[in-house]
């Protein structure tokens, strides 16, 4: 099976190609540059290098979020359109699950995260167990301080993985001190090769048309609108 993996859910842009279980190509950058402009040239270059034409692809694998809304959309739109137009399946993988795989063989808990501004993070809890990465607590958006106090009460070492580590390392180590393990530079960025591997092993869950990003949270306008509506309703009830 020839699988093409695409990840633009954060600043890290990754493209990976897997051929019959072998990772034949991986392209990754960790810079704040335009994904919309650079993704397609990166895909073209990599596929040319590994001598696989688009029509020889069997599956598209994409990091479905959470992450930057725009970033996720660039990857998902590209992946969906490639899959639909080539008549091949699309498989989505959580951007946090991809990152968690950098903690393979770690004995404790794994907490991959993506900065979500205003002290919040997208995160989940994973563990290496029975030869695979398992999700222990599902992906969510949460105040990092709340997440860390929850982890304080669990009597285990936690490996933290994130390309946004610089903004969060201090709060992590002050909350968990010796229980916190910080990944090294190569482990902090999601690897498209990992994405490709996870994606080739996953079941195909849905038709391409039905495939949507997983933003985890509603658009801000929608949240505000729902809050206003709830306010109205409770006011009406009070009267």
Partner 1 sequence: MSQIILGIETSCDETSASIVKNGREILSNVVSSQIESHKRFGGVVPEIASRHHVEQITYILEQAMVEGNVTFDDIDAIAVTEGPGLVGALLVGVNAAKALAFAHKKPLVGVHHIAGHIYANHIVEELTFPLLTLVVSGGHTELVYMKDHGSFEVIGETRDDAVGEAYDKVARTLGLPYPGGPHIDRLAHEGDATIPLPRAWLEEGSFDFSFSGLKSAVINTLHNAKQKGETLPVENVAASFQESVIEVLVKKTMDAAEEKKVDRILLAGGVAANKGLRRELTATCEEKGLRLTIPPLSLCTDNAAMIAAAGSIMYDLGRRSDDRLNGRPGLELK
> Is 230 among the residues that bind partner 1 (CB under 8 A)?
no
DSSP code at position 65: -
Given the complex with partner 1, which of 34 and 130 has the nearer CB atom? 34
User: Three-state SS string across 106-161, please?
Assistant: CCCEEEEEEECCCCEEEEEEEEEECCEEEEEEEEEEEEHHHHHHHHHCCCCCEEEE
> Is 58 among the residues that bind partner 1 (CB under 8 A)?
no
Please state whether beta strands 2-7 and 59-63 pair in parallel, antiparallel, or not at all (unpaired).
parallel
Q: Which of 85, 145, 174, 201 binds partner 1 (CB under 8 A)?
A: 85
Given the complex with partner 1, which of 2 and 162 has the nearer CB atom? 2
> Is 49 among the residues that bind partner 1 (CB under 8 A)?
no
Give least dist CB 115 to partner 1, A. Answer: 18
Residue 10: closest CA among 57, 64, 71: 71
Give least dist CB 89 to partner 1, A. Answer: 13
Q: Which of 32, 34, 177, 236 binds partner 1 (CB under 8 A)?
A: 34
Residue 62: closest CA among 50, 52, 72: 72
Cα(first)–Cα(last) distance of the chain, in Å? 64
Which residues would be at the binding site for partner 1 (CB under 8 A)? 34, 36-41, 43-44, 54-55, 69-70, 73-74, 76-78, 80-82, 84-86, 208-209, 212-213, 215, 219-222, 225
């Amino acid at each position: 099976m020839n699988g093409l993996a695409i990840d633009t859910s954060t600043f890290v842009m990754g493209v990976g190609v897997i051929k019959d279980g072998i990772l034949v190509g991986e392209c990754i950058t960790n810079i704040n540059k335009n994904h919309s402009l650079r993704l397609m040239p990166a895909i073209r270059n990599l596929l040319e290098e590994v001598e696989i034409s688009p029509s020889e692809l069997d599956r598209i694998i994409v990091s479905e979020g959470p992450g930057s809304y725009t970033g996720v959309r660039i990857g998902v739109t590209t992946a969906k359109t490639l899959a639909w137009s080539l008549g091949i399946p699309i498989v989505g993988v959580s951007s946090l699950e991809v990152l968690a795989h950098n903690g393979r063989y770690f004995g404790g808990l794994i907490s991959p995260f993506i900065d979500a501004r205003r002290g919040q993070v997208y995160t989940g809890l994973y563990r290496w167990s029975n030869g695979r990465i398992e999700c222990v607590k599902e992906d969510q958006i949460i105040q990092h301080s709340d997440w860390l106090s929850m982890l304080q009460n669990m009597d285990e070492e936690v490996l933290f993985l994130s390309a946004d580590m610089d903004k969060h390392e201090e709060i992590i180590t002050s909350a968990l001190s010796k229980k916190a393990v910080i990944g090294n530079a190569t482990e902090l960025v999601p690897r498209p090769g990992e994405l490709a591997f996870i994606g080739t092993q996953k079941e195909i869950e849905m038709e391409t048309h039905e495939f949507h990003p997983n933003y985890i949270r509603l658009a801000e306008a929608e949240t505000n609108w729902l809050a206003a509506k709830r306010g109205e309703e409770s006011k009406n009830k009070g009267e």
